[in-house]
């Protein structure tokens, strides 16, 4: 079975709580003796998972990035398929809120989007298999545990997936700087998929053509665009506001 590393206290704690069967071994930096360390190590002891106190240099050698003093070796997570996604949607009683990321290649942005998606109650995050960041250790660390809670679906053909979602009653709202309608004119109260484009280039042509409605975030300063993770947060929380008021 393939193995991968998860690092950062939030990410490791999320695996411990949500997918403990994936944990194989954990390394903790020397000198850490706070409550967070005790909680993690007590949980590992209960599971019978090996953990070891090591010098920071050993952690630095295992992963690249700010590990915060903890690294876990885990079995590879099971990736959601399109069929998993459609089954989940068919079994829901409430209208879903989905997030579609078209060509977001920076793992930091992907992790930040996952974290916001979790906070906003997103049912699943959908990305294309090509030209997209994966949930590598960096993305998982930035996601602060959301990578273990929000279904992450990589699809071979994004346009085909969008068509299928539309056939299932999902309304696709895409963001584009040149759109005439604004975010605050969109209706997010029903089954909705928010479609966000890549950093800089925006959505690909086929993705744009499959959107039912295009919107833009009003910009009142000199800057003409927002980072994709920031824009995602702005849009998702307008959706949250509308859906709460409707409920």
Here the CATH number for the domain that contains residue 18 is 3.30.1330.30
Contact 52, 27 (CB under 8 A): yes
More confident residue, 89 or 146: 89
Say if residue 15 is in the same domain as residue 46.
yes
pLDDT (tens digit per residue) in 61-98: 988 778 889 999 998 777 899 999 999 999 999 999 99
User: For residue 42, what are the contacts with CB-CB under 8 A and spacing of at least 6?
Assistant: none
What is the domain count for the chain? Answer: 2
Longest Cα separation, the chain: 58
What band does 247 get if pLDDT is binned at 50, 70 and 90?
Answer: low
Say if residue 102 is in the same domain as residue 70.
no
Binding site, by residue number, is 197, 217, 226
User: Is residue 235 over pLDDT 70?
Assistant: yes
Say if residue 104 is in the same domain as residue 225.
yes
What band does 154 get if pLDDT is binned at 50, 70 and 90?
Answer: very high
User: Is residue 124 over pLDDT 90?
Assistant: yes
For range 33-54, the mean pLDDT? 91
Instruction: State the DSSP string of 51-117.
Output: EEEE-HHHHHHH-SS--TTEEEEEEPPPPBPHHHHHHHHHT-SSPPEEEEESS---HHHHHHHHHHH
Say if residue 97 is in the same domain as residue 210.
yes
Q: Which domain range does residue 56 map to?
A: 3-75
For range 220-241, the mean pLDDT? 91
Contact 143, 115 (CB under 8 A): yes
Say if residue 44 is in the same domain as residue 99.
no
For range 33-60, the mean pLDDT? 91
Whole-angstrom Cα distance, residue 87 to residue 136? 26
Which of 31, 55, 75 terminates a domain? The answer is 75
Considering the entire predicted model, what is its pTM? Answer: 0.83
Per-residue model confidence (pLDDT) at position 163: 97
Which of 30, 52, 75 terminates a domain? The answer is 75
Say if residue 120 is in the same domain as residue 148.
yes
Say if residue 104 is in the same domain as residue 184.
yes
What band does 224 get if pLDDT is binned at 50, 70 and 90?
Answer: confident
In 3D space, the residue among 170, 186, 18, 150 whose CA is nearest the CA of residue 94 turns out to be 170
For range 216-229, the mean pLDDT? 87
Per-residue model confidence (pLDDT) at position 1: 45
Say if residue 71 is in the same domain as residue 87.
no
Binding site for S-adenosyl-L-methionine, by residue number, is 197, 217, 226
Which CATH number belongs to the domain containing residue 198 in this structure?
A: 3.40.1280.10
**How many percent of the chain have pLDDT more than 70?**
98
Say if residue 182 is in the same domain as residue 67.
no
> How much is the mean pLDDT over the chain?
91
Say if residue 221 is in the same domain as residue 182.
yes
User: Is residue 8 over pLDDT 70?
Assistant: yes
Say if residue 69 is in the same domain as residue 93.
no
Say if residue 201 is in the same domain as residue 142.
yes
Which of 44, 75, 106 terminates a domain? The answer is 75
């Amino acid at each position: 079975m393939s193995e991968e590393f998860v690092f950062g206290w939030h990410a490791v704690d999320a695996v411990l709580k949500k997918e403990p069967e994936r944990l194989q071994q954990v390394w903790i930096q020397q000198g850490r003796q706070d409550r967070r360390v005790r909680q993690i190590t007590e949980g590992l002891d209960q599971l019978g998972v090996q953990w070891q106190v090591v010098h920071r240099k050993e952690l630095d050698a295992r992963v690249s990035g700010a590990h915060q003093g903890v690294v876990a070796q885990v079995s590879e997570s099971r990736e959601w398929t399109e069929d998993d996604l459609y089954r989940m949607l068919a079994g829901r009683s409430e209208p879903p809120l989905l997030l579609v990321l078209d060509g977001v290649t920076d793992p930091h942005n992907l992790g930040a989007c996952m974290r916001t998606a979790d906070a906003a109650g997103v049912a699943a995050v959908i990305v294309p298999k090509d030209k997209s960041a994966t949930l590598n250790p960096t993305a998982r660390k930035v996601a602060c545990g959301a990578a273990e809670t929000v279904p992450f679906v990589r699809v071979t053909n994004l346009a085909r997936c969008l068509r299928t979602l539309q056939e299932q009653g999902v309304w696709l709202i895409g963001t584009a700087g040149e759109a005439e309608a604004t975010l605050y004119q969109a209706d997010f109260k029903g089954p909705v998929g928010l479609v966000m484009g890549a950093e800089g280039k925006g959505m690909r042509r086929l993705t744009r053509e499959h959107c039912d409605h295009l919107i833009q975030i009003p910009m009142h300063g000199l800057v003409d665009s927002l980072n994709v993770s920031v824009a995602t947060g702005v849009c998702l929380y307008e959706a949250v506001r509308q859906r709460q008021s409707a409920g």
